[in-house]
A and B are shown apart, each in its own frame.
Chain A
């Protein structure tokens, strides 16, 4: 082949996303420049499957565990408890359990695999236009203070923050998730149990998931108790019943621990849905009257529980804005704003070590910052110092975002639950995840710190005049 005389070309490189354009393939007749799909050049930290149809966060968290627990518990129920119950009671029991199980699994998968409402990053032209409009008095070597813009929503002042990573002013209710490195619309929280952010587009799936899971665990729990009761009555007592049906014991234990947290979580999210709030807003106390002198409430609420519920759960389904399966226009491949250029070499996005490295540094940073102030979260095991002091000074308030809450005794407020339990489905496993749970407020590896002011920007308004 003629092209071997020019340079040794790795055939695999021709089909990988980082394939170089045709200029390096002078005689390559068989592989013209392949049009890449947008998911292949997506700058955020997500993984894609099925050619862009499925999107998950980079770290799948404990999604396999969640799924495994649900499948195993339900499987044991169907195999070991249902035959007895069908014989002694009614055939409806496995039918109901089956319907609930299907609901749970489908809504879990939809929550995990759906784009939560990621906002695509601003293209260079757009970013430049915004920069022009901001009064930028700092020099290029000094990072300017976080930029904010004030707008009026329903006659209430709302501050929009500038996202340095995505190079745009975040729309209201949008927040930047540090783990996924994306701005997500109507950001609720990043849930490690489902391995994805929960935002505008998948909140209803998430809510369906936790509600149906509450019903399923309660149902299984009740059925197992009934089964054991019936067995012990007709047999030789409770101990014998337990020995005859050991699977029931497993189910009992799992369900018992799950019910507390899941029912609590469902109740909390029902409250959020009814008041049209997000977990993020509730934790930060954005609309609570404590932080404000005037009695201004949530500007997004319709002040009617039924309307709020309908809007949040049954409202129109917005489209995905990131167009994962669209093709990247050939001449626009250099236009996408990515943070690749600013990445230190060891932090390249495709580095498989980044996952563990990032998580480790994150855990260390969280551990250190949680030592700086007395946290609400039960202590994290590590005490290694964070890698960047400057980050610590800005993040000192971050893991406990609502400044008004006391450092201890936070169990009083119901709203505190999300800090400890954004998705605490299995209470016994909480300790492992405490370090990573507040992570949804924190930026991930240090390189991105300069780009994520997030909730750190309590700095005064730079005096930017809104465009309107």
Chain B
């Protein structure tokens, strides 16, 4: 039970020791991309490789959402021809990928981060500005 409710419990019961914010990386322009530099605060908590893999996967997913290609142009043209009313009934490609990202983050939290006393917050909840990683105090969970 601790596993299935671990995310909620973490938020409510464990004490937040600190938060780390992974900022955006604008070196390639305005596309959504986060810095893969490993923050010092996480050194004792998580493997650098694991962290970089998570951030890189996130970056790849966002790149997929914002990819310029035949499919996105088609969607854009179709939307323009229908005077953009099509957005009222159809989910955009970006939104579909955002759902994928949300699922990925939840899965990462459950499998990798929660056992280590960490919690990833979906960047969309922070306006795609930062990836917020909450570091909880190292104590046993579910004791309350």
CB-CB under 8 A for A316 and B126, given A129-B19, A153-B26:
no
Name the A residues within 8 Å of B94 (CB-CB).
316-319
Stretch at the interface among B45-53, B84-92, B110-118, B136-144: B84-92
The answer to whether A171 and B65 touch across the interface, beta carbons within 8 angstroms, is: no
CA distance A102 to B81 in the complex (A): 12
Cα–Cα, bound, A126→B23 (Å): 10
A361 to B92, CA, bound (A): 42
CB-based contact A316/B127 at 8 Å: no
Residues of A within 8 A of B67 (CB): 316
The answer to whether A321 and B127 touch across the interface, beta carbons within 8 angstroms, is yes
Bound-state CA distance A299–B31 (Å) is: 13
**Contact call B75/A319, Cβ cutoff below 8 A:** no
A316–B93 CB distance below 8 A: yes
CB of B105 within 8 Å of the partner chain: no
Which B residues lie within 8 Å of A110 (CB)? 84
Judge whether A123 and B126 touch: CB under 8 Å: yes
- For B79, the closest partner residue in chain A by CB is A317
Interface string of A383-398 (1 = CB under 8 A from B): 0000000000000000
Question: Is A314 part of the binding interface, using a Cβ–Cβ cutoff of 8 Å?
Answer: yes
In the complex, what residues of A have CB within 8 A of residue B68's CB?
A: 310-311, 315-316
Instruction: Assess whether A327 is interfacial by the CB under 8 Å rule.
Output: no
Other CB < 8 Å A-B pairs besides A317-B75, A318-B94, A321-B124, 17 of them?
A: A102-B83, A119-B127, A120-B127, A123-B126, A151-B26, A153-B29, A154-B29, A172-B29, A314-B72, A316-B92, A316-B94, A317-B76, A318-B66, A319-B94, A319-B98, A319-B124, A467-B37
What residues of chain A have their CB less than 8 Å away from a CB belonging to chain B?
102-103, 106-107, 110, 119-120, 122-123, 125-126, 129-130, 151-154, 158, 160, 168, 171-173, 185-186, 204-205, 208, 299-300, 310-311, 313-319, 321-323, 467-468
The 9 closest A-B pairs by CB, nearest first: A314-B76, A120-B127, A106-B83, A321-B127, A316-B72, A314-B73, A317-B92, A316-B94, A129-B21
Pairs across A and B, CB under 8 Å, 16 listed: A106-B84, A106-B85, A125-B132, A152-B27, A153-B26, A154-B29, A172-B30, A173-B30, A205-B84, A314-B75, A316-B68, A316-B72, A319-B95, A319-B98, A468-B27, A468-B37
| Interface residue ranges, B against A (CB under 8 Å) | 19, 21, 23-30, 35, 37, 65-68, 72-73, 75-77, 79-80, 83-85, 87, 92-95, 98, 124-130, 132
